[in-house]
Amino acid sequence: MASVESQAAAVGLVTGLEQPSPLSRLPASRLIPSQPLREEGRTERGGGSRRPGFIKPAGTALPARPRRPDPLRSPPPPAPRLSPLAMALFGAVFLALLAGAHAEIPGCKIRVTSEALALVKQEGLRFLEQELEAITIPDLRGREGHFYYNISDVKVTELQLTGSELHFQPEQELALQITNASLGLRFRRQLLYWFFYDGGYINASAEGVSIRTALQLSQGPAGQMRVSNVSCLASVSRMHAAFGGTFRKVYEFLSTFITSGMRFLLNLQICPVLYHAGMVLLNSLLDTVPVRSAVDELVGIDYSLLKDPVVSNSYLDMEFRGAFFPLAEGNWSFLNRAVEPQLQEEERMVYVAFSEFFFDSAMESYFRAGALKLSLVGDKVPHDLDILLRATYFGSIVLLSPAVIDSPLKLELQVTAPPRCTIKPSGTTISVTATVTIALVPPMQPEVQLSSMVMDARFSAKMALRGKALRTQLDLRKFRIYSNQSAIESLALIPLQAPLKTLLQIGVMPMLNERTWRGVQIPLPEGINFVREVVTNHAGFLTIGADLHFAKGLREVIDKNREEAGEHGASRPRPPPRHATGSPAPPPVVPPRPRPTLMVRKAMWENSFTKPAICSPLSP
């Protein structure tokens, strides 16, 4: 037996395979702890004696069944490892959720649809014509062999934009494309060919003018909308000069040098003009949009952009904070928990959406500013209501001293909590809770309170856009007063409900509507108004669809704004004045100069070309 085991060990050393131990060859019954042997037998039914059982002899041992791992003793399974791609996706989702959790919900949204682009293009092209007509082209001077030329006093007389298209372009851009336009020019010529000299004014035209420009809109540092970049591509395909006189044929042959040089200079001047118009002039127009301004002496409004405008192929969406704040607490902010307004329509030129937060922040700002209270003393209290209140509290008044009984009556209403606005498809309501205090105010003595009650009121609100102002009309719908002391006192106040409701409708509601009908300005540039508006209520917000109307031209608004900012001296030159018929004014008449001799004239020309000047690209 020992020899067999030694042989097996030797085989294991040679082959490197683990050999079973001697214990593994023992029967399973010898490896399992001893248990009492089971006796097999049966018991007779009916109370008979039990037969003695017998023990089965042990047979061939069966293989042992593997045990289940003990969860208390076995090590835990290794945790699954995420792939780098899965970890990157998880991180991106986490950052997106974190950013969404901290994103501020807008209280006001504005959508400008493609329906408004036709009106904007009409006014924009008029403004662009005025800018291009003010192009300043430097003098052109050069020579080609024995041919000398000098072009000066170049003026743009007219601009014809036959084909133009204005459209939204994704990536925050508003693109304008002009094709097959033409420019009318007038300039002064001085030509010398050998000993032949000619001078005077001449008309020219630039044809096949193509302009493609795009304005990139973004959020400015102060929350305003800005034109952050202007891309431009302009070209003039051909140019023609109408020469006349005796040497017309000669000039037409030699005019290639002049027209090529002027076309080159004109190509260089168009894009700088458009860049200045977008980055300077249009941004000065956008400066007229209120960002953080005062509504009245108590409350201001914040129209800061929350992010860059979103541009699609058919609309431009802007999200504003749309929050009121008390001027005495400029850094105070109201947490927006309202529903985010949604804009789905595209039929009208512009849509404006307001959430419940917009109106709640207004009412809370006035509440914090201490404006939601009213005190009527003496003659301010209506005479009939004064008699009714004294009769109601007669039992309390007769117990007072005689010096107090005839004192003036005071009626004070004070809102105890910020009113709340609820917008539903059926309408907009405003709920107000206030205290009504009735007291006597004897002169030179502290006031004597007769009663204090709670007032619950509900107003219906109708919104409207007039010009650029959002206006509100309030109407009292429900009114109830009760005592927070006892139910019996509440029953005694029932006769006062009708007079107090009348007091609110006659004395308080006109003052409220006078203030709310002044309205609050919508963030639009100066000179643009809303017309033909339609108000639609939704669950938690309302939308107003309207069309646009230019009450003032862009040039008028920009010039006025730049004058107020003290930049009028740095503005670009205005286009030349026009007659009532619309044609450009003729150039000033230049008196003729004495003509020098041919030799002197040639010497003057040759000396003039030694001075620095802008030359034609075709000049040597």
Condensed to tens digits (0 to 9), the pLDDT of residues 345-403 reads: 889 999 999 999 999 999 999 999 988 888 888 888 878 778 888 887 777 777 777 77
pLDDT at 506: 82
* Dist. CA 482–CA 489, nearest whole Å: 8
Question: SS3 for 557?
Answer: helix
* Dist. CA 242–CA 244, nearest whole Å: 7
pLDDT at 441: 86
One-letter amino acid at 296 equals D
* Dist. CA 318–CA 309, nearest whole Å: 5
Distance in angstroms between the alpha carbons of the first and the last residue of the chain: 117
CB 407 within 8 A of CB 434: no
* Dist. CA 284–CA 224, nearest whole Å: 11
* Dist. CA 307–CA 319, nearest whole Å: 7
H/E stretch holding 466: strand 448-466
Positive or negative CA dihedral for 497, 498, 501, 507? Answer: negative
CB 356 within 8 A of CB 339: yes
Question: SS3 for 552?
Answer: coil
Structure tokens at 145: 């062999």
Question: SS3 for 46?
Answer: coil
pLDDT at 243: 66
pLDDT at 386: 80
pLDDT at 305: 92
Cα Rg of the chain (Å, integer): 46
Structure tokens at 72: 């208390």
Region class of 354: left (phi > 0), else alpha (psi between -120 and 50), else beta: beta
Question: SS3 for 105?
Answer: coil
Half-sphere exposure of 579 (CA within 13 A, CB side): 7
CB 368 within 8 A of CB 326: yes
CB 193 within 8 A of CB 254: yes
* Dist. CA 294–CA 518, nearest whole Å: 13
Positive or negative CA dihedral for 483, 485, 490, 493? Answer: negative
Question: Which residues share a beta bridge with 408?
Answer: none
pLDDT at 64: 56
Parallel, antiparallel, or unpaired for β 299-302 and 292-294?
A: antiparallel
pLDDT at 598: 37
Instruction: Kindly report, residue by residue over 294-320, the tens digit of the pLDDT.
Output: 998 999 999 999 999 999 989 999 999
Question: Which residues share a beta bridge with 197?
Answer: 192
Parallel, antiparallel, or unpaired for β 373-377 and 323-326?
A: unpaired
Structure tokens at 66: 């593997």
* Dist. CA 17–CA 10, nearest whole Å: 11
Structure tokens at 40: 């097999």
pLDDT at 569: 44
CB 31 within 8 A of CB 64: yes
CB 557 within 8 A of CB 115: no
Structure tokens at 445: 């003595």
Q: Report the 10 Å Cβ neighbour count for 411.
A: 21
Which DSSP string corresponds to 346-393?
Answer: -SSSEEEEEEHHHHHHHHHHHHHTT-SEEEEEGGGS-HHHHHHHHHHT
Q: For 12-162, list the strands marked E by DSSP.
A: 108-113, 140-144, 147-160
Domains of the chain: residue spans and CATH: 114-287 (3.15.10.10), 293-554 (3.15.20.10)
The three state secondary structure string of 407-465 is CCEEEEEEECCCCEEEEECCEEEEEEEEEEEEEECCCCCCCEEEEEEEEEEEEEEEEEE
Tokens 């949604």: give the residue: 342
Residues whose CB falls within 8 Å of the CB of residue 497, separated by 6 or more in sequence, listed in order: 479, 480, 481
CB 426 within 8 A of CB 404: no
* Dist. CA 387–CA 523, nearest whole Å: 50
Instruction: Kindly report, residue by residue over 194-210, the tens digit of the pLDDT.
Output: 777 777 787 888 888 88
H/E stretch holding 320: strand 315-320
Instruction: Kindly report, residue by residue over 68-120, the tens digit of the pLDDT.
Output: 555 555 555 555 565 666 665 665 555 544 444 457 899 999 999 999 998 88
Question: SS3 for 13?
Answer: helix
**What residue ranges of the chain have pLDDT lower than 50?**
1-56, 96-101, 568-620
CB 143 within 8 A of CB 149: yes
pLDDT at 39: 41
| pTM, entire model | 0.69
Question: SS3 for 193?
Answer: strand
CB 464 within 8 A of CB 533: yes
Residues whose CB falls within 8 Å of the CB of residue 2, separated by 6 or more in sequence, listed in order: none
